[in-house]
Structure 1
Amino acid sequence: MCKGRCQREFAYGQAGSMLKYFQDKISENPSFHYALQLDVEEHITNVFWVDAKMIIDYAHFGDVVTFDTTFGKNKEYRHFGVFVGFNQYREITIFGAALLFDETCASFTWLFKAFLSAQNGKQPRAIFTDQDTAMGNAIKEVFTEAWLCTHHIMQNVVKHLCNKKNDEDEESHVLTDFSACMYSIEDKIAFEEAFNIMRSKVDNKRVSWLDSIYKFEEKWAECYMRDIFTLGMRSTQLSESFNSDLKTHLKSYFYIIRFLKHFERGVQGKRNKELDEEFEARKKLPRIRMRTPMLVQASKLYTPQIFKAFQAEYKRSMAACTRALDENNTYAISIVRSNGDLSSEQECIVVGDPLEQTTSCNCEQFTRTGVLCGHALKVLDLMNIKLLPNHYILKCWTREARIVAELTGMSVQDL
């Protein structure tokens, strides 16, 4: 950097330069928003900011949010945190960012309240964070629904349950058992039994850690999260992925203005990628494997990424075996695996209503992700419903997600 440029950036000092940067952003667009927290000596301790695009994106796609502070500190010893989510292409979109002096409950509480204030008080339907105690306490105070990051939990499982002195087979079994409790076991009674069996296999020290994580079982176990709207998200890896991308732009020794400008460049890179995705989506329709009325309809409505997921479920529905349980459109549905041995996945119960054109599957996939499961699609077909009913087309997954919201003046999740 040339000397003249450096002098221009820091003529006001670090705090003054940052404030000027924010004021210049407000001059460019009055919707830019920032908040500062001061200590008793009126020094800036914590900083939060959002630009106009972040506010709009949150209004459209802020149903599910992740927040993480894993990125390293900058030269001023501030922790960098970012709020992110999915857009209609399942690409990362940024909802806000912060620099924190410390990671105390008070700092996180201030930050989360500042975030909601900037977003017109709109609560996310779910927010994912790590197991940090201070953050967890602040989350409970500010947000309605919060869940623990499964990725961080598994990292802690390795840290607390695995020991180099233990037999490798024993460690492998512990990891497998815990992973099953978190991801695979769908029945609460079965979960309790499996957890107790796992607990009986480890020593007192590891039992203590298992008991501590068990207190929050409803925040990470599959059996408690089956009906939670998560858009398929279960961890803060979106935030971590963005932080990882920023490492090409941000260095720990950057001064504050350079930090902000390089962050801005990283955000713009994500937005450029979204524009590229939109251009490609409008240029051509995705490949359709079977030209059925429902798949043709879905290919025109969904973004390519979501259509790919929907088409996979449609293909699964073609391999479904059905067993009528009564005369009121209640079926047991089992899908034959694609490994060639004619074995089936776990049977699911689906209740259909041909008049309302609805299906209710106990796998709860649509509730969680907004994409119908193969079981439900099979029952729609059995009821001779050949087009996807409108109430199963989640607007945030469609090509026109932003356009629909802007024309109606409503957020995507309100439609």
Structure 2
Amino acid sequence: MSFALFIGVNNHLQSRLLGCALLSNESMHTFIWLTKTWLRAMGGKPPNAIITDQDRAMKAAIKESWSKQQFEDKWHEMVEIFQLMEDGWISSLYEESEHWAPVYMKDTFFGGLSTTQRSDINAFFDKYVCKKTTLKQFVEKYKVALLDREEAEKQADFNTWHKQPDLRTLSLFEKQMSMIYTHAIFKEFQVEVLGLSGCHIVEERKDNLVTTFKIFNFEKNKEFIVEYDVSKEETSCLCHLFEYNGYLCRHSLMTLQTVGVFVVPSHYILRRWTKNVRIKQNQRKMKDVCSSKERYDCLYQKAIELLVEG
């Protein structure tokens, strides 16, 4: 039977199971039932975006496309090289490119889930089940898999709260976010801080409250345009890393540094990437519980946290 998974990511960039189903077939009717049933189980609230696997051969054409025109050029180049002009599947993929090519979705938050290392969502149960696993065995393995994931999350929570990450620069950005982000997110952000030394910034033009900078990134050998609005303390970079992954890129950090801002503004700190996001979620859930089962679950979770702390 086909095993369909809905996978999300927590504040430690660990995969979290949001739902799953065993399917007798892969017809359109079955998938419609699956998505509607899953959406109902999630309280009727759909995610901002859903990612599904796409042919890995496409990655060469989309990996480094910074603009729509570059994507178009690389795509047509690939089609000509491999003589795929008459291929119906390739043509249909191109027509749907706005639904899968990253260049069209840089303003959509994906929380890192769209990166190549997470392309195979089925890896969630890789160590626990295989094609020969019986339904009876699956139920037991399923429980073990979820318990292991819970344990990994609790360990990551403990490390984040009780171990301070190593700082590698004197940057105030790095020091600030080391106390706010979880270790996993901080490591990603730290890469951007370290990348500041490989960037050169030049003021391009100034228009009232908006200043435009041109930044050359020596590591990527590319030029990026960043706009800064002083009235809102807002920065907008061509790479769209913040919109895509939820933390500022080196180009935006360099811009802030250049205009005299040495801490990350609060509107660029996503709560979902912070250390205490689940504490706040539990507090909010306690106020909104509507059944004795939910209340029991909340109280049990808080009791466990208190015991661990004790």
TM-score, normalised via structure 2 length: 0.84
* Cα displacement string for residues 144-203 of structure 1 (whole angstroms, at most 9, x for unaligned residues): xxxxx3xx411xx4xxxxxxxxxxxxxxxxxxxx54422222222232233223323334
Q: Tell me, what secondary structure is at the counterpart of 1:289?
A: coil
1:314 to 2:193 alignment: yes
- 2:36 is the alignment partner of 1:113: yes
Cα deviation 1:289-324 (Å, max 9, x = unaligned): 124332221001001111111111011123321111
**Identical positions, percent:** 29
CA contact (8 A) 1:183 1:221 kept: no
Q: Aligned partners of 2:111 and 2:133: how far apart in 1?
A: 36
Among 393, 404, 407, the alignment partner of 2:280 is 404
> Which is worse superposed, 200-209 or 314-323?
200-209
Residues 320, 336 of structure 1: 8 Å contact kept:
yes
Query: 1:233-248 alignment to 2 at 5 Å?
Result: 233-234=113-114, 237=119, 239-247=121-129
Assess if the C-alpha contact under 8 Å between 1:182 and 1:220 holds in 2. Answer: no
1:97 partner amino acid = C
Asked whether the equivalents of residues 66 and 103 of structure 2 are also in contact (C-alpha less than 8 Å), the reply is yes
Q: Does 1:298 align with 2:298?
A: no
Give the AA of the match of 1:113: K
1:332 aligned onto 2:214: yes
Q: Deviations over 1:118-152 (max 9, x none)?
A: 111010111112xxxxxxxxxxxxxxxxxxx3xx4
Note if contact 2:125-2:145 (Cα within 8 Å) is conserved in structure 1: no
1:191 aligned onto 2:114: no
Q: Which moved more, 1:217-226 or 1:84-93?
A: 217-226
Distance change >3 Å, CA 323–CA 292, structure 1 → 2: closer
Map 1:249-328 → 2, pairs under 5 A: 252-254=132-134, 256-327=135-206, 328=210
Equivalent residue letter for 2:223 = E
Structure-2 change in CA distance of 1:204 and 1:364 (3 Å) = closer
Q: Does 1:220 align with 2:103?
A: no
Match of 1:389 in 2: 265
Say whether residues 1:153 and 2:35 are aligned partners: no
Question: In structure 2, do the counterparts of structure 1 residues 119 and 204 end up closer, same or farther at CA, with 3 Å as the change threshold?
Answer: closer
Q: Quote the offset at 1:239 in angstroms.
A: 2.0
The farther-off stretch of 213-222 and 309-318 is: 213-222
Greater C-alpha Rg = 1
Does the 8 Å contact 1:199/1:207 carry over to 2? no
- For residue 93 of structure 1, what is the aligned residue in structure 2? 16
| Residue type of the alignment partner of 1:214 | Y
Q: Where does the alignment leave 5 or more consecutive residues of structure 2 unmatched?
A: 289-310
Code of the residue aligned with 1:313 in structure 2: it is E
Distance in 1 (alpha carbons) for counterparts of 2:100 and 2:67: 14
CA distance in 2, matches of 1:80, 1:391: 39
Q: Report the alpha carbon displacement of residue 253 of structure 1 after superposing the two structures with TM.
A: 4.4
Distance 1:109 1:232, change over 3 A: same
Shift of 1:272: 0.6
Query: For the residues of structure 2 that align with 1:223 and 1:99, how far apart are their CA atoms?
Result: 33
The one-letter code matched in structure 2 to 1:200 is: E
Residue type matched to 1:231 in 2? G
Tell me: CA distance 1:368–1:204, structure 2 relative to 1, closer, same or farther (3 Å). closer
How do residues 128-139 of structure 1 correspond to structure 2 at under 5 angstroms? 128-129=51-52
- For 1:84 and 1:108, how far apart are their aligned partners in 2? 16
**8 Å contact 1:181–1:222 — kept in the other structure?**
no
Is 233-242 or 308-317 further displaced after alignment?
233-242
Displacement of 1:221: 2.0
Task: Decide whether aligned partners of structure 1 residues 201 and 319 sit closer, same or farther in structure 2, where only a CA change above 3 A counts.
Answer: closer
Letter in 2 for 1:275: K
Deviation per CA, 1:346-386, whole angstroms, max 9, x where unpaired?
A: 11111112332221112111000001000000011112111
Give 1:217's aligned amino acid: S
Q: What is the Cα deviation at residue 116 of structure 1?
A: 0.7
> Could you tell me how far apart the structure 2 residues matched to 1:205 and 1:322 are?
42
In the superposition, relative to structure 1, how do residues 318 and 106 fare at CA in structure 2: closer, same or farther (>3 Å)?
Answer: same
Preserved CA contact (<8 Å) 1:181 1:191: yes
Residue 243 (structure 2) aligns with: 367
Letter of the aligned partner of 1:332 in structure 2?
Answer: K
Q: Kindly tell me: are residues 97 and 204 of structure 1, through their superposed partners in 2, closer, same or farther at Cα, counting changes over 3 Å?
A: closer
Contact 2:79-2:85 at 8 Å conserved across structures? no
After superposition, residues 168-179 of structure 1 pair within 5 angstroms as 178-179=58-59
Deviations 1:203-228 (A, max 9, x none): 46863332132122112223212222
Provide the secondary structure at the position in 2 that maps to 1:90: coil
Distance across 2 between alignment mates of 1:334 and 1:356: 25
